[in-house]
Amino acid sequence: MTQDERSLIVMTGATSGIGLEAARSLAERQNVELIIGARSPDRANALRVVVPTERLTVLHLDTSSLASVHAFANAVHEKRGARLISALGLNAGMLGGERLQLTEAGVEQTFATNCLGHFALADQLKRAFTPGAIVLMTASQSHNPADRLTKLLGYRGAIFPNAESVVHGRLDESAGPAQASRDRYATSKLCCLLWTFAMARLTQGEDIRFLAYDPGAVPATQLARHLDFSSRIGWERLLPLAVPVLPSFTTPQASGRSLALLLANPKVAPQTGQYLDHRLQPATLWPKARSTAWQNDLLNVCTGLTAS
């Protein structure tokens, strides 16, 4: 099969965890070629093991930096030539540490990494989408205040006073450091959903699908790498034991396979604006994620940031 006959999929967050497993699953399809954005391309050894060299390009990308996003998008356009992108997987994510951190642009680090960089990337690649292209955003049930499992894990759902406050990490000044970190993560995942549904609404009638994916609770991944030692041990060593008995828990392999199916098989999610879980069933959604007022607020603020 020639390069021009392959489907071209661009992904972030594919060097470990569910993203790596998704890449592994996609590599089993001989008609798929991957362009992966990675913070450290020279360390993406696990990715190079599972994807054949002739069907893999790894480029530098730090989604917390709009300059890096811009450079990555330009590199993707150069690499693809005249070929079009069949799917864009926005999977990179982080759970920040307890101390509030801002990027050079003054944007809270978790929001910049999980949201703003991905929003900008989709915008800068949109001219290269093939008809029927899929833009898939990895979200999380942590956004939902009514979700019992995430409550057990110390989350209380997203806090959205307004988009400007979210961008700068000003959510709840009374929260302790550990709770504030979880609040920033949960809120970033709400924003991923707000953006997905906004784009689905604004592109109605166009031949493109904006989808969101809840990978489930996937312990043993690097998501908790910024947490304190005891929290990391619980996430990496203890919580994996709950996978066989709790339906919301899953493995990187199972979640990655579902992520790959959403990216590569248009029949799995034929309609735009869907939010699916790791079993490829409709995921439980906090109704406020459908708020057009919140969506518009977020889009206006983020558009201003990316334009500047």
Q: What is the mean pLDDT of each run of 10 residues along the chain (308 residues)?
A: 84 96 97 97 95 97 98 98 97 92 95 98 98 97 91 90 98 95 97 98 95 86 50 52 59 95 95 96 96 98 92
Beta bridge partners of 89: 11, 136
* pLDDT for the residue 226: 47
* pLDDT for the residue 67: 97
Domain with residue 130: its CATH number is 3.40.50.720
Looking at the structure of the chain, the number of domains it has is 1
* pLDDT for the residue 141: 94
3-state SS, 5-33, equals: HCEEEEEECCCCHHHHHHHHHHHCCCCEE
Judge contact between 214 and 91, C-beta under 8 A.
no
User: What's this model's pTM, rounded to 2 decimal places?
Assistant: 0.91
Q: Which domain range does residue 51 map to?
A: 3-307
